[in-house]
Structure 1
Amino acid sequence: MIEIDKIALIKIENGQILSTRSKGKNKYYIPGGKRENNETDEQTLVREIQEELNVEIIPKSVEYIGTFKAQSDGAAKGIIVKMTCYKADYNGVPQESNEIEEIKWLNYKDLDIISEVDKIIFKHLNESGLLA
């Protein structure tokens, strides 16, 4: 089994979660990405969110939500995405970057347009009363 180590930002407002769709992709994903070199979770989160959403994470606001695993979309069976999720505040207004086609606020009814690991995260957030 191969594990892809990713860090993600959980940003919820009015019962909806901030999601992104990368260029050339059909599904929406919780923003974030893969760790580079020996980055900490926080360093990865700050870098990835700056790259994808053009906003700056406020480091003191970073709070662990949970770690979730599922089969990686479009990958061979046994390739697993491990998504370590944090909530955090940021400065700025999210805007699409070079790699992001669209930013959209999703709710629990949008399970058919998100990745497998995001479905697990959405279910957890819905059961916690955070996601409508």
Structure 2
Amino acid sequence: MTQLFFGIKALVLNDEGKFLAVHKTKQASPLLEIPGGRMEFGETIEETLIREMKEETNLVVAPKKILTTWNYMKKTGDFQVAGLIYLVEVENLSSLTLSEEHDSCTWLGFDELNLLVPHFKNALENIECSNLF
């Protein structure tokens, strides 16, 4: 059976212009991703983003603008997630606390995209950084 999901990710920037990257607890690879998750039935895109960010990072966010799209297809071809990456504004970065879903986080510069899983690396390469600040 094939499965298709819609996911929303957040680009959280700090004062140094770096973005938040997280590592999934169950991920054997050292590669990182950006926080967010899958839409639940009945939610709007923005509600999904706000809920997922609170669940995963304890951050209260406000969606600012859609930056780009992303797509992940499992090598077996039976599982796909496609979605959006939003630029978000954060109420208080000091409240950052990871859920059990993630075992670490770090702040990356846009010159460190090679530390991300390929589908997020590819998506963020297309963003015009000068439009973020």
TM-score (norm 1): 0.78
Which residue is equivalent to 1:71? 72
Distance (Å, rounded) in 2 between the aligned partners of 1:80 and 1:66: 20
Which residue is equivalent to 2:130? 129
Partner letter of residue 84 of structure 1?
L
Partner letter of residue 25 of structure 2?
K
Which residue is equivalent to 1:112? 114
| Structure 1 unmatched runs, 5+ | none
Distance (Å, rounded) in 1 between the aligned partners of 2:22 and 2:105: 5
What's the offset of the Cα at 1:100? 1.3
Change (3 A) 1:97 1:71: closer
Which residue is equivalent to 1:90? 90
TM-score (norm 2): 0.78
Distance (Å, rounded) in 1 between the aligned partners of 2:117 and 2:57: 19
1:54 aligned onto 2:58: yes
What's the offset of the Cα at 1:90? 2.4
What's the offset of the Cα at 1:40? 0.3
Distance (Å, rounded) in 2 between the aligned partners of 1:69 and 1:78: 17
RMSD: 2.4
How is 1:12-51 mapped onto 2 (pairs within 5 angstroms)? 12-13=13-14, 14-25=16-27, 26=29, 27-51=31-55
Preserved contact between residue 53 and residue 59 of structure 2 (Cα < 8 Å): yes
Q: Which moved more, 1:89-98 or 1:76-85?
A: 76-85
1:40-92 alpha-carbon deviations (Å, 9 max, x no partner): 0111011100111012224xxx22223413333x5423744322121222233
Which residue is equivalent to 1:6? 7
What's the offset of the Cα at 1:28? 0.9
Change (3 A) 1:75 1:52: farther
Partner letter of residue 42 of structure 1?
E
SS of equivalent residue, structure 1 residue 97: coil
Q: How many residues align?
A: 126
Distance (Å, rounded) in 2 between the aligned partners of 1:108 and 1:88: 16
Partner letter of residue 39 of structure 1?
E
Partner letter of residue 71 of structure 2?
A
